[in-house]
Amino acid sequence: MLSKTIVKYIQSLAHKKFRQQENAFIAEGSKVVTDLLVSENFACKIICANRTWISENRGLTEKFPLDSVIEITGPQLKKISLLSSPGEVFAVFEKNETHIIPEKQISIMLDEIRDPGNLGTIIRIADWFGVKNIICSEDCVDCYNPKVVQATMGSLGRVNILYTNLDDFLRNHIISMYAATLGGKNIHEFGKIREGIILIGNESKGIKEKLLATSAGRITIPGRGKAESLNAAVACGIILSHVV
Amino acid sequence: MLSKTIVKYIQSLAHKKFRQQENAFIAEGSKVVTDLLVSENFACKIICANRTWISENRGLTEKFPLDSVIEITGPQLKKISLLSSPGEVFAVFEKNETHIIPEKQISIMLDEIRDPGNLGTIIRIADWFGVKNIICSEDCVDCYNPKVVQATMGSLGRVNILYTNLDDFLRNHIISMYAATLGGKNIHEFGKIREGIILIGNESKGIKEKLLATSAGRITIPGRGKAESLNAAVACGIILSHVV
């Protein structure tokens, strides 16, 4: 049964403070929830779903204790959902501690990405290109923010995300970093890379000067029009499509 | 002075029905409004801005009649703004009739793009790569939707956007169309093109079968991970970066 306590608990997880306190986050919709369950990267604490979803996904939920799978009605789903068109299922997962070893592979580093849609899209892009690691500055938007979780379309369960001080991280790893910025080397002249970090900066301010100074190279996507810049997630996708 | 009538008029333009009726749309923030004014693609009807913005942008506004430039206070801006952090300026522009000649250049065609952020980002991408034309199916989100206008970051003034029946449009133009889809030719093996239409499909359903059948070629962005697809705007950006 969906008690008032559970509703209150679920609603609190829309806020970062409570996600930190409870070490948990929410996910909605069959695609996202199913992908997170299958990935087994996050322990699932509660599933609220309609009867159809529960009966169609017995294989995924039978390992959970009976009281953590709650059958709810459409209006109840609407009540707890943050989406304008709620799906069939809503779940609470435990957050996960991530350790990242960037050597011998390509990773993405994000300097102050603020927009939840952008971070979610970048996680989805990383998953598409088989990039396993995303290293986020501490002032990036929380990857457990519900809008980020939705925008990942389930990719959150397949990518490791670490929040850390980027300068400290770079001091502790011997690895080349390539910054996405204007005035660098044309992406078409940039060869494929097997190892390294692709650095993407803030939506309006770009990459912090100190961080930019540490980069081994600068990559530029040549434009012919008059737009001042590309969206951060689009730039990330374009660069990965050329260098991976 | 910001009369109640003007406030009501401005607020009505958040809705498509009234934008159609009034043939007008709203834009916010100095970057977007300035770019639209400079582009001269859209006649400006009203500018509401704080004293600083008006005095710093006299060159852009002096051609307007005195009563169409309204000095307003921060709280008044907040009242009419649709943004969580309102900028210094808010404007109403007249919509523009577009005619598109797709021959001898690259154009983008959108089949039922529904998300305002995606359409806005695609307009910004087109502008970045110097693509002048976007042909939208009639069921695409309205490009004058305030969320689309904001996401274009001013590029709306530099790209021609036409809403039309895509099948009819293609019947009337002899031009090759390349569809962004799974299972097509690897983008890395696809050469540069000088003329043609890049077709991007709906966020969840992809491209309509009938339309797909008309395409001269299919382009695929190879992935190595487990994500089912890329975001529509990201796919559009990656394809343009390879073929333009």
The predicted structure's pLDDT at residue B154: 94
Residues in A 101-160 with any Cβ partner in B closer than 8 A:
117, 121, 124-131, 153-155, 158
CA-to-CA distance for A144 and A21, rounded, in angstroms?
A: 13
- In the predicted model, what is the mean pLDDT of residues A91-107? 93
Tell whether B190 lies on the interface with A, counting CB pairs under 8 A. Answer: no
Distance CA B109, CA B136 (A): 6
Q: Do residue B231 and residue A228 have CB atoms under 8 angstroms apart?
A: no
**Distance, CA of B80 to CA of B9 (rounded, Å):** 10
pLDDT at residue B85 tops 90: no
pLDDT given at position A71: 95
Q: With CB atoms and an 8 Å threshold, state whether A230 touches B187.
A: no
Domain boundaries, chain B: 4-94, 106-243
Contact A155 B227 (CB under 8 A): yes
B24-70 pLDDT, tens digit each: 999 999 999 999 999 988 999 999 999 999 999 999 988 888 889 99
- A223 Cβ under 8 Å from any chain B Cβ: yes
Q: Which amino acid is at A34?
A: T
> Are B180 and B125 spatial neighbours (Cβ–Cβ below 8 Å)?
no
Q: Tell me what the pLDDT averaged over chain A comes to.
A: 94
pLDDT of residue B64: 84
Mean pLDDT of B89-93: 96
Q: How confident is the model at residue B165 (pLDDT cuts 50, 70, 90)?
A: very high
- Which conformational region is residue B115 in: left (phi greater than 0), alpha (psi within -120 to 50 degrees), or beta? beta
- Do the chains contact at B226 and A125, CB–CB below 8 Å? no
Q: Residues with Cβ < 8 Å from A31, sequence gap 6 or more?
A: A153, A154
Angle B126-B129-B135 from CA coordinates, rounded to 5°: 30
CA B82 to mean position of chain CA atoms: 18
**What's the mean per-residue pLDDT of chain B?**
94
Sign of CA dihedral A46, A92, A76, A63: negative
Within 8 A of B34 by CB-CB distance, chain A residues are: none
* Correct CATH for A106-243 of 3.30.365.10, 3.10.450.50, 3.50.50.60, 3.40.1280.10: 3.40.1280.10
Determine the residue type at A69: V
- A3-16 pLDDT, tens digit each: 999 999 999 999 99
Angle at the Cα of B188 (from B184 to B193), degrees rounded to 5? 85
- Taking CB atoms and an 8 Å limit, are B225 and A187 in contact across chains? no
Report pLDDT for B67.
84
**Predicted TM-score of the model (pTM):** 0.95
Nearest to A120 by CA among A225, A13, A236: A236
Best of A132, A229, A231, A243 to mutate (most B CBs within 10 Å, chain B)? A231
Q: How far apart are the CA of A198 and the nearest CA of chain B, in angstroms?
A: 16
Q: What is the pLDDT of residue B1?
A: 81
Name every residue whose Cβ is closer than 8 Å to that of residue B62 and which is 6 or more positions away in sequence.
none
Q: Is the pLDDT of residue A99 over 90?
A: no
Report whether pLDDT(B167) > 90: yes
Provide the 8-state DSSP code for B27. E
State the count of interchain CB pairs (< 8 A) between A and B: 106
Question: What percentage of chain B exceeds 70 in pLDDT?
Answer: 100
- Provide the residue count of chain B: 244
Out of B124, B225, B237, name the one closest to residue A128 (CB).
B225
- Taking an 8 Å cut-off on Cβ atoms, the answer to whether A231 and B124 are in contact is yes
Q: How far does B2 lie from chain A, in Å, by closest CA?
A: 31
Q: With bands split at pLDDT 50, 70 and 90, how would you rate the model's confidence at A195?
A: very high
Residues 6+ apart with CB under 8 A from A55: none
> Residue A21: is its pLDDT beyond 90?
yes
Rounded to the nearest angstrom, the minimum Cα separation between B151 and chain A is: 9
Average pLDDT of A166-183? 94
Query: Per-residue DSSP letters for A32-59?
Result: HHHHHHHH-SS-EEEEEE-HHHHHHTHH
ipTM associated with this complex = 0.94
Cβ burial, residue A212 (10 Å; 0-12/13-18/19+):
middle
Span A217-240, mean pLDDT? 95
Check CB contact under 8 Å for B121 and A234.
yes
**pLDDT (tens digit, 9 = 90+) per residue, B146-159?**
999 999 999 999 99
**Is the pLDDT at A42 greater than 90, yes or no?**
yes
Q: Which range (A136-150, B72-86, B110-124) has the least confidence?
A: B72-86
Q: Nearest-CA distance from A3 to chain B in Å?
A: 33
The residues, ordered by sequence, that sit 6+ positions from A20 with a Cβ below 8 Å of its Cβ are none
| Pairing state between β B24-28 and B89-94 | antiparallel
CB contact (8 A) between residue B130 and residue A225: yes
The residues that bridge with B202 in the sheet, in sequence order, are: B206
The CATH H-level superfamily of A4-94 is Ribosomal protein L30/S12 (3.30.1330.30)
Q: What is the pLDDT of residue A65?
A: 83
pLDDT tens string B169-220: 999 999 999 999 998 999 999 889 999 999 999 999 999 999 999 999 999 9
Contact (Cβ atoms closer than 8 angstroms) between residue B188 and residue A129? no
Residues of chain B with Cβ-Cβ distance to A156 below 8 Å are none
pLDDT exceeds 90 at position A205: yes
pLDDT higher than threshold 90 for residue A63: no
Q: Do B129 and A241 touch (CB under 8 A)?
A: no
Q: Which residues of B touch A36 (CB under 8 A)?
A: none
The whole-number average pLDDT for the span B112-133 is: 97
pLDDT (0 to 100) of residue A140: 98
Q: What is the DSSP code (8-state) at residue B29?
A: S
B234 vs A234: CB contact, 8 Å cut-off? Answer: yes
Model confidence band, residue A146 (pLDDT cutoffs 50, 70, 90): very high
- Among chain B residues, the shortest Cα distance to A186 is held by B241
